[in-house]
Structures are given as structure tokens and as C-alpha cells.
Amino acid sequence: MATVISSSQLDFGFIRGKILEFMKQQTEFQDYDFDASGLSAIADVLAYNTHQNALLGNFALNETFLQTAQLRSSMVNLALNFGYVPRSRSSSQALVNVSVNLTAATEKPETITLPAGTEFTTELDDVTYTFRTEQEYTARIDSAALGIYTFEDDDGELAIIIKEGVERLKTFLVEKSLQRQIYVVPDSTMDLSTLKVRVFEDAADTLGQSYLAPTDITGGFTAETRLFLPLETYNGFYELNFGDGTITGDAPDAGNIIRATYISTSGAIANGATTFTPSNTISVNGTSYNLIVTTVSKSALGAEKENAESIRVNAPLSYLAQGRLITPLDYVAVISNVIPGIKSMNAWGGEDNVPAKYGKVLISIIYEDDVDATLKENLEKRIASEITDNLSIASIETEVVQPNFTYLNLTTNIKYDSGITALTRRGLQDKVANTIKAYFTSNLGKFNDVFRKSKLLSTIDGSDTSILSSKLDVKMENRFTPVYDATAVRFVLADYKVSFLNKIKVPDNVTPAVTSDNFVYNGKVASIRNKIGTKFSNILEIIDTDENVLITNIGSYDATKGEVTLTGFSPTSISSGNTYLRIFATPADDNNIKPLRDHVIDLGFNIVSAETDTNQANAISGVTD
């Protein structure tokens, strides 16, 4: 009988065993001791060679498909099949006010210009970083201040953008002898968004022609279109590609000089800078003046190259979008690829919103932690001006909705065997609490991330070998900000609706399903809960700390819809000191909690208690009931 080696069993030991099994079946080797002979070494070599070839074949095949590839260089090449160029390293950028004081000058011009490339330095962790302007900015005289000039952008905004990095230049000569010349910029730290390419006729040409990246071209391509396409190479550098001179745009001619300028950046490590010192002065009418810099928004948005898993997800989405905005996924794909600093994003049609908003697409964005409110506003202006205004369907408006966080408050009780752990009770509780935090960080906190109780319990049970069992109670928490009248210095009467992700537990006569933070009401510390006892219902009441009812009906909750409604509510103050008030609800089913639209799940409070398992202790000591 022939020896069969399965294609799925290609480990070294299995292959070697099958080779020896085959040889033992041959009459020439009857009663032969293979383990004590030279044929054993030959079998090792054959098995090793077969095993290695199988591995290489498996790896090579995996690297030819986007969904199975592991090497980033493979994913970059495969993404080109989708017309997708992975994001390069990104420069950290800050918003600053830059002004010049010319009150002492005898002649005051109408305008002055801040040149592109003006440098500013900052220090983070004893390392100095250089930031620079990418374009010129103009300042006009402030008649009220009689000589204070503040630079502004094209939209009249006084906060201008400075980016971290060093400006670099790479020059290429177009040779006559090469049919297709390769132009590689040997710098993996390039920020592609800052790359500018000009082609000069020869060394005497001082003006040159500007070539544009595909993202900068709004019309179609013609033979005259001056286009360059930057692509990442296998070693992380960038290659410049040009048209063919006919269908895909203009191509440089032999003897032309190509000059590529860009910013080489340090990436994410330059985020967080708050103080910037100008490295240059500005000359006005032959006199040098110091620049005055005020930080509007600290440096942020610096990032490393797009990682492999992000490429795996975004390349197919980008291909589906085809550079236009029609479906909600198109909005996610296009905006996430163009706008930096986005951690998570979701989009949905207005017809799916609650309440419905026909004729609109709604988007909600979670930004990276270092993006402050000013920078968020700036990015959302870019989304409108650079993307949605140009690519969305006519008559469809885009509305940005703030993320709606639902916090899960967890109370965990674990039973453990104290005989197989060196941790104290407190140490074990801290370990489990950190495990829960890590689980939420890895699996939740983004749009469409679903909470699954069973998975969290499995993670808790596996966090330490001494844990024998665990129990988890889950409550949902939402927050709302009561309306405050700053003039009257008090909260005013208003109605509120708080929506939860899941159905709320129906009322019973023992435990309230809906409660709230403490607040001060008519001079007493109070809170909200639904009625319990003999007259339990979904009606909400205000009670004091002694459970005396202060208001018998302040609203109600709809268990099926998961909505809590407050009517004519006005606290005197909020006891926690926060500007918001928290509403807690017990879910009808806490096994799966799924966010929709703008909702996101995050971790609220996390209480862990631990106790030794008495049954386990009795079993070890031989004690029985």
C-alpha cells in the first residue's frame, strides 16, 4: 500500500515518519534498523526540505491575497489593485496666532506677508522639534490697535497651521536613453500631503510647471493634465510616477529636471507641544521685527504610516467608494482616508435616524485623544470644504453629529482558590479590574463595537488561574446636561429625553430599574428613581436620601424603547460637581448590548470584589457539610 502524506499535515515530524514508513515497506530494507543507520540522516534532510518548501509555498500564497497577507509591503502592493494608496507618516500640526507689533514704526504698510517655511521650535521631553508654515499668510493693519498685524488664512481665520518637520528637496534628471525612468525619493519619513512636484525645462528654467497629485485634480484627465502619482515601494520609500504623455496625462521630456519638495517628519512623537518660539524675524521696510506667537491648539494629528490591519479594512472600502459619496460606507471610507486624527467614524442615512432627517447623511466621529475642540472644528470645516461639498450627491446635505456615549457600570464578584495564588485579595481585585479595562480598550469604545457579556466573563476567568467563577452585573449609564441660565445663575425648567441602547428592565416592587446621580433639589440632597413598593410603576419620582418622596411625578421611562423622559426638571445644583447629570438603567437583557448610529459603548465605573470559595477550601481540608 502506498504511503499517503496529507496536504494539511506538513510538519517535520509527520513527514519524516511517513518517509521512514514508506522505506520500511520496501523489500530491500526488510529488518533494517533505520534509526541506527545513515538513512536516518537522509530521511531528516528529505523531511526538512519538504517541510521548508511547504512553508514557503504557504507563505507565498498567503501574501498574494489582501485578507491573508501579513507583510505590510505585500499589503501596500495588493492595495494598489483597489487603487488605494496607504497613508504615509503624518506631520504633527498646531494652530497658532502669529502677529507683529509695528506701533513704533513710522511707516505702516497696508499688509505684510509671512513667508512659507517660517520656522518655530518647541521642546518635548528634552527634544527640540521644528514646525513650519506650508504657505504664505497675510496680515492687515489693525486700525484699533494702531499697528498690530495678525496673520490670517484664506478664509479670514486668525489661527494658522504650522507643521512639524524638515523641508527636503530631491532632484531628478530625465534621461534620454530610458523609456521608463524610475524616480524614487529615498525617505520613509515623508508626509505625502506635503509633497510638491515641479518640472523644469532645463537648468536655466527658474519657473517650471507644477504637477498635481490625483487628490488635487477635480476634473477629468486629458493628455495635457500634469499629474504625478506617488506610490510606496517595498522598502518604505516613495516612487514618483507620471503620465504616458497621451491618455493618462503629460509626461516630463528628456532633459527636464524634476524637483520634489516635502516635509520629513517625526510623526506622532511631536504631538502635545504647547509653546512655540519663532526662529525667524520678519522684515518690514528694511527693519526686522520679532514675531509674537500664541498657541490656539496644541500640536496633534502626527501619526505613523497606516498600519497593516487598517490597510486590510480601508482598501476595499475605498474601492467601493470610487471617489464619490453615495452610500454611508462611502462617507466612512473617503473621509477616514483624507482627514487625519480620526479614531472611529460612522455614517447613516437620514431615513434611518431617530427622528428621521430626510435628505441628509449624518456622520459621527471619534477623534484621537490629543485632538482638542478647536482642532476638531478645523477638521470638520475641512470635511465640508474638501470632501462632502464636492463629492456628495446634489441636494443631499451632510450633518455632523456628536458621539453619544453609553457607559456600562460593572459590578464583578469573583470566587477564587487562595491556595494557588500568591496575590492578596486586593491584588487579585486590582488584576481583574485592569483586565476589564484592557478588554474595553481593545474591544469597545468605537462605533459598532458590541458588548458581549459572555466574552468578558471568559476574559475575567482566564485572567488568573486561581479564579474559579465570576459573576457580572451590568447597568447602563447615560448623561445629559441640564439647561443653565448664566444670567440668572441657576438651572431652568426644561424637558429631557435620554435614550439607552437596550430595553430597560420592567419595574418591580423591590429594586428600581432607573436611578440617577445625587443633586440638590429645594435645599435637599435628592435623586431620581422609578416608583417601587406596592405601587411600583414606570413613573419617575424625586426622593431625598431618606427615601422621602419630594416630587411624585417628574417623568417616566419606556421599557421597550429604552427611553427615559423628564418633564419640567430643574435641579438647584449637581452634587458631583460635574456639569452633567447621570441616569442609570438596568437593561432587560445584559448579555449583548449593541450600539447604533452615533452611539458608542465605553466603561463607566468598575467595581470588583473577591471572596474565597468555601467549598473549595473544605474539599482541600477534608471537611464536609
**Is residue 57 within a helix (H) or strand (E), and if so which, with residue range?**
helix 39-62
Query: pLDDT over 90 for what percent of the chain?
Result: 22
CA 279/CA 265 separation, integer angstroms: 18
CA 367/CA 350 separation, integer angstroms: 22
H, E, C per residue of 532-562: CHHHCCCEEEEEECCCCEEEEEEEEEECCCC
22 burial type by CB count under 10 A (0-12 exposed, 13-18 middle, 19+ buried): middle
Dig out the grid coordinates for 283 from the structure: 522684515
Among residues 126, 104, 130, the alpha carbon closest in space to that of 117 is found at: 130
**pLDDT in the model for residue 575:** 86
- Using the predicted structure, report yes or no on whether residue 366 has a pLDDT greater than 80: yes
CB 198 within 8 A of CB 259: yes
Q: To 5 degrees, how large is the angle CA 69–CA 71–CA 77?
A: 75
**pLDDT in the model for residue 491:** 87
Mean pLDDT of 93-111: 86
Using DSSP's 3-state secondary structure scheme, residue 209 falls into: strand
Dig out the grid coordinates for 394 from the structure: 446634489
**pLDDT in the model for residue 620:** 42
**pLDDT in the model for residue 95:** 92
Using DSSP's 3-state secondary structure scheme, residue 303 falls into: strand
Dig out the grid coordinates for 389 from the structure: 461639498
Give the residue, 139 or 57, on which the prediction is more confident. Answer: 139
Please, which contacts does 507-510 make with residues 24 or more away whose CB atoms are closer than 8 Å? 507/531, 507/532, 507/536, 507/537, 507/538, 507/559, 508/532, 508/536, 509/533, 509/534, 509/536
CB 304 within 8 A of CB 89: yes
List pLDDT tens digits, range 598-623. Answer: 889 999 888 889 888 765 544 444 44
**pLDDT in the model for residue 185:** 92
Q: Among 95-99, 267-271, 377-381, 616-620, whose mean pLDDT is lowest?
A: 616-620
CA 101/CA 270 separation, integer angstroms: 29
CA 395/CA 158 separation, integer angstroms: 32
- Using the predicted structure, report yes or no on whether residue 307 has a pLDDT greater than 90: no
CB 133 within 8 A of CB 118: yes
**pLDDT in the model for residue 9:** 61
Give the residue, 138 or 154, on which the prediction is more confident. Answer: 138
**pLDDT in the model for residue 424:** 87
State the distance between the two ends of the chain, measured CA to CA, in whole angstroms.
62
- Using the predicted structure, report yes or no on whether residue 286 has a pLDDT greater than 80: yes
**Under 8 Å CB-to-CB from 566, ≥6 apart: which residues?**
495, 496, 497, 498, 528, 540, 554, 555
Q: How many CB atoms lie within 10 A of CB 407?
A: 18
161 burial type by CB count under 10 A (0-12 exposed, 13-18 middle, 19+ buried): buried
List pLDDT tens digits, range 197-232. Answer: 999 988 888 888 888 887 666 556 666 778 888 888
**pLDDT in the model for residue 547:** 85
Using DSSP's 3-state secondary structure scheme, residue 53 falls into: helix
**Under 8 Å CB-to-CB from 69, ≥6 apart: which residues?**
62, 63, 75, 78, 308, 312
Among residues 428, 436, 431, the alpha carbon closest in space to that of 605 is found at: 436
Query: pLDDT over 70 for what percent of the chain?
Result: 88
**Is residue 112 within a helix (H) or strand (E), and if so which, with residue range?**
strand 111-114
List pLDDT tens digits, range 65-79. Answer: 777 887 888 888 888
Q: Among 320-324, 382-386, 597-601, whose mean pLDDT is lowest?
A: 320-324
Give this prediction's pTM.
0.71
In the block, residue with C-alpha cell 471568559: 458
CB 100 within 8 A of CB 282: yes
CB 527 within 8 A of CB 601: no
List pLDDT tens digits, range 545-565. Answer: 888 888 888 889 999 888 999
- Using the predicted structure, report yes or no on whether residue 445 has a pLDDT greater than 60: yes
